[in-house]
Amino acid sequence: MKANRIMKDKKMLILLSFASLVAFTVINLSIGAVKVDFMDIIKIIMEKIGVMPFQTDISDATKYIILDVRLPRIIASYFVGGTLAISGAAYQGLLKNPMADPYILGISSGAAFGATISIVFFGGIKILGIASINLTAFIGAILVVFIVYNIARIGSDVPITTLLLSGIAMSQFLAALMSVMMLMFGESLHIIIHWTMGSLSGKGWDKVLSLIPYSLLGLAVLMYLSRDMDLMLLGDENANNLGVNSERVKKVILLTTSIITGAAVAISGIIGFVGLIVPHAVRIFTGPRHKILLPVSFNAGGILLMFCDTLARSLITQEIPVGIVTAILGGPFFIFLLHKKKREVF
């Protein structure tokens, strides 16, 4: 009876989280330099999807602002936030550490280094129709994880401690190379710094449509592995005894999270703390079961980044990089985690 009630409460939590997504999206669409009425927003969307019984008298300029400026940016923020959140949830479960985040293996450093190369040498031109910054950032993120993984690998095993240390070492090395490049090419300094702060400004439908497949496929793969991830919380040896191939699952999780995080970072730049805060907070309400933790984290991460991006573009006249907003919110939470963690006995 108690188990049924808990499951019912968790299902209600999922429904409420997605209902809040719809409400928050409509609210976000109305916020900006140009004020748009809620009913006008609903009419514009209904007309766009073909369920409006009559033609609206709303101006084309207003429709453009809603459909081609605000809506793609909001959707981009949702999928970037959701992607970072499920990656963080997967890493925290894999490493059994609530302070793990999607950037722990050097993905952010690899993406930043790739973006720096593009800014300095290619000037942000398009390669095969793709902005070179996005392309090189994605390649840099994936390449760094590949290098870190192979450095840490011992035969067919990948010890978690060695993996983390390799990621830290690679991050520091790439940070040093970036510093050298910024000193040598000072004229590109402000562009590099702005990119590393993270921003969703000017993200159109092309960016949204390039990210969505990665996010949804990544979520599907992690959901498929959710039972194995639950069993691995008991330890690799116990999981193996229960029929889980721990090393194979680790590889799939690392590959999946690296690809989807690289895709998200390539679009938005480095946005910190979403992958740290959200899974940890959601786990308090849902428990450790990944079958529920992952979808709720995805939705909560998306809503959080939507909220932060709204603050970033509306607090002051000049837009603030959203990475600064998430850092302001996430910093105190991280300190709280450290304070809580240091009292535990290992």
Contact 263, 214 (CB under 8 A): yes
Q: Between these two residues, 234 and 128, which has the higher pLDDT value? A: 234
**CATH, domain range 71-344:** 1.10.3470.10
pLDDT, tens digit, 9 for 90 and up, residues 318-337: 888 999 999 888 878 777 76
* Mean pLDDT across 251-266: 90
| pTM of the full structure | 0.87
- Count of Cβ atoms closer than 10 Å to residue 315 Cβ: 11
Q: So what's the pLDDT on residue 82?
A: 96
The Cα 23–Cα 235 span in angstroms is 41
pLDDT, tens digit, 9 for 90 and up, residues 33-43: 778 887 888 88
Q: So what's the pLDDT on residue 345?
A: 39
pLDDT, tens digit, 9 for 90 and up, residues 160-195: 788 888 888 998 999 899 888 888 887 778 888 888
Residue 126 has pLDDT above 80, yes or no: no
Q: Which of 246, 303, 257, 335 is nearest to 23 (CA)?
A: 303
